[in-house]
Structure formats: structure tokens, C-alpha cells
Amino acid sequence: MPDGVINPPVPQAMTLALPPAHGEEGDLRTILRSLRAGWRWLLAGWSAGLALAVIALWLVTPAYTATMVIGPMARIGAAATGSRVPVSSGRDSATGAESGAADESLSDFARYLELFGSGPVAEQLAREPDVLHALFPDRWDAGEGRWRPPPGPLPMAKRALLALVGRRDWVEPDGDRVERALRERLLIDMLRSGPMRRISFRHADRATAVDLLGRIAAATDAHLRSEAARRSAAQIAHIKLRLDAVTVAVHRQALSDLLLDQERVAMMIGVDLPYAADMLQPPAAGMLPDWPNPAAVVPLAGLVGLVAAGFALSARHALKEHGTGMERVP
């Protein structure tokens, strides 16, 4: 560049963090000083968070958590049901699942976990009035013996919004609503890295939580047992029908072996033991409600209020410094 020509000033990007001018402190010290000066705002934010948490805890109905521990049903051992898959020596026999990739095989226990409280199990539970009354107590009017919309400002606002778009809120629960309610309250956790699972269910009444969790488990196991019995009976009926039509001795012997295997399966399905899941720990709940936990909610709410107040003070200071920096630009 020729001598005597002064470099033009490079415009700086507009940011909230401005470089400190001569004799001024850095951004961090300035922010800390702003927070120290605004301690009243920090105290107000912390107090507001605590107050909101206390109000919310008074408004929310506490709930009990019922838990149970289950594992795959044993096939061998003193307390086992025995193998339900027919195994014959010296020849191939029918198996529980068709051959394919390893991830295509689905065990009875995996089906149990997938169907727990959902699908056909929820439909079956929806046919029991006491289960519906326990799951939706705010919609059941025991005095008049009928279902009603839930009271309160929030449900009324929801019904008003649905009415604006030409829809209406449901009144009498069905299987789909039961499945949604169970999905919101059920939690399945893995115990360590083994096959056992801990299943939790939350309800406002302790006895109801324990009873409903046991009912869901029994309904799921009964559904899988009935499906297995139905499939086995259909196969036995089909094999007997084919036996009446087949005359070749070799084919009749093969069908007789298959019939024997399926009758063994049907016999093991009928054993009066759990079909898919063994209950290692029956449903139980504590004597006191454990949700929500005030010891965790109140301090967390105070911390959130404190952080929100600190962020508001920092943003206010940054905007103020930004406005001062803009005024300095000629």
C-alpha cells in the first residue's frame, strides 16, 4: 500500500460479547460483577422456583409405584414346565419357529414383554369394569353409575379446543385408551445385563397399583397360553384329518409321529405353571407414595429458577453493553 495511506477500519461483527475497552474489565469479570450486583434478582428467581415447585407438589396427586421382577420361564429343572418344543431322536422334528436369521426367532418371553399391557391384553382388560374404574377414576361417576367427562379447568379447555376443530373428547374408555394409559404408567427395566426385567406401575392408590400390576401380568401370560393352545389344537386337528385321508404306510407313520409331538406340546401347555414369564418377585409397593419425590423436585426447581435469573441478568448486561458499544461507533 502506498506511503501515507491509512488502513481503513475493519467493521466488527455484531455480537453480545464486546472486546474490553482501555481501562475496562474483561467480559467474565463484568458478568460476575453484574450477577453480584443483581443478587436480589437471583434470590427472587430461586425463591420463585421453590414456590412453583411447592405449589405443583400440592396440586399433583402423589402416586405409589408397584414393582415386580420376572424372568424367562424355565424349561428344565425341578420347578420347570419341561420343553414344549418336540424333540425326537434320529430325525428332524417341528420347531417353535421357522428357520431364518437369528434375529427372526422370537421367544415366548420376548412376546410377553412386547404384549405386556398392550394390544390384545389391553382389549381384554378393557372388558373388566373394575379395571376401567381404577384406571380412569376421574371419569367414572359411581353415584350415577355412568361415565362422564373429567372435571377441572384443563380438561374443559381441552374439550373446548377439540370442539373448535369439530372433534369431541372421548367419554367411555375402550381398549385403545386402556393401552395408552398403561403405556404412560408402565416401565420395564433390565436388571444388570441378564434376562430378568423389573416392571413398575404407578397409581394413586397403593392397593390398586399392586392389584393392577398382577392383573396385567396374569392377562398377558394367559393370552400367550391361549394362543399357543389354539395353534396346537389347530395342528392336531389338521394332522388327524390328514391321517384319515393318507393310506401310504410311510406317510401315516410320519403323521403319527407329528401327532404325538403336538399332543406332547398341548399337554405341556396345559401345565398349571406360568407359561412365558416366571415371577421371581411378586408385585409390591411401599407404604408411602414415592412420586413425585419432593427431595428431588424442590431443589431442582430452585436451581432452575436461579439459573434462569442469572441468564436473564447476563442477557440484560450483554444487551446493555451492546447498546453502549453501538453508541461509541462514530
Please give the Cα distance from 62 to 131 (Å, whole number): 20
> Is the pLDDT reported for residue 45 higher than 50?
yes
Cell of 201: 406401575
Q: What is the mean pLDDT of the chain?
A: 80
CB atoms within 10 A of CB 215: 19
Residue 159 lies in a domain: no
Comparing CA positions, the residue from 14, 36, 39 lying closest to residue 25 is 36
The confidence band for 28, taking pLDDT boundaries of 50, 70 and 90, is low
pLDDT of residue 108: 87
36/120 same-domain check: no
Of 158 and 321, which is predicted with more confidence? 158
C-alpha cell at 317: 448486561
259 part of a folded domain: yes
In a domain, residue 195? The reply is: yes
| Between 99 and 20, residue with greater pLDDT | 20
Q: Are residues 37 and 128 in the same domain?
A: no
**Do 201 and 314 reside in the same domain of the chain?**
no
Residue 313: strand, helix, or coil: helix
Residue 197: which domain range? 61-86+103-136+173-285
Residue 208 shares a structural domain with residue 321:
no
Q: What pLDDT was estimated at residue 8?
A: 55
Whether 25 is covered by a domain: the verdict is no
Q: How far apart are CA 37 and CA 294, in angstroms?
A: 31
| Number of domains composing the chain | 2
Q: What is the pLDDT of residue 98?
A: 42
User: What is the predicted pLDDT for the residue at 283?
Assistant: 95
**Any bridge partners for residue 203, and if so which?**
64
Is 330 a residue whose pLDDT tops 60? no
Q: Based on the fold, state whether residues 212 and 247 are members of the same structural domain.
A: yes
Give the separation between CA 48 and CA 54, rounded to whole angstroms. Answer: 10
In a domain, 47, yes or no: yes
DSSP H or E stretch at residue 186: strand 186-190
Asked if pLDDT for residue 143 goes beyond 80, the answer is: yes
Q: Same domain, yes or no, for 178 and 247?
A: yes
Residues 51 and 79 in one domain: no
CATH of the domain at 194: 3.30.1890
Cα 249 to Cα 258: distance, rounded to the nearest angstrom: 14
Statement to judge: residues 194 and 46 lie in one domain: no
Q: What is the mean pLDDT of residues 65-89?
A: 68
Give the lowest-confidence range in 125-139, 155-169, 183-197: 155-169
Report how far residue 157's alpha carbon sits from residue 159's, in angstroms, rounded to the nearest whole number. 5
Q: Within a domain: residue 92?
A: no
Confidence tier at 22 by pLDDT (50, 70, 90): very low
Report the distance separating Cα 234 and Cα 240, nearest Å. 10
- Cell digits for 308? 434462569
Q: Is the same domain home to 187 and 323?
A: no
pLDDT of residue 78: 47
Greatest alpha-carbon span in the chain: 116
Q: What pLDDT, on the 0 to 100 scale, is given for residue 210?
A: 95
Please name the helix (run of DSSP H) or strand (run of DSSP E) that holds residue 188, with its range, or none: strand 186-190
Among 242, 282, 271, CA closest to 258? 242
More confident residue, 85 or 137: 137
Tell whether 182 and 39 lie within a shared domain. Answer: no
Q: Is the pLDDT of residue 152 over 60?
A: yes
pLDDT tens per residue, range 240-296: 999 888 888 888 899 989 999 888 888 888 888 888 898 999 999 999 988 888 888
Structure-model confidence comparison of residues 69 and 247, the more confident one: 69
Q: Which residue has the higher pLDDT, 36 or 263?
A: 263
250 and 109 in a common domain: yes
Domain identity same for 124 and 267: yes
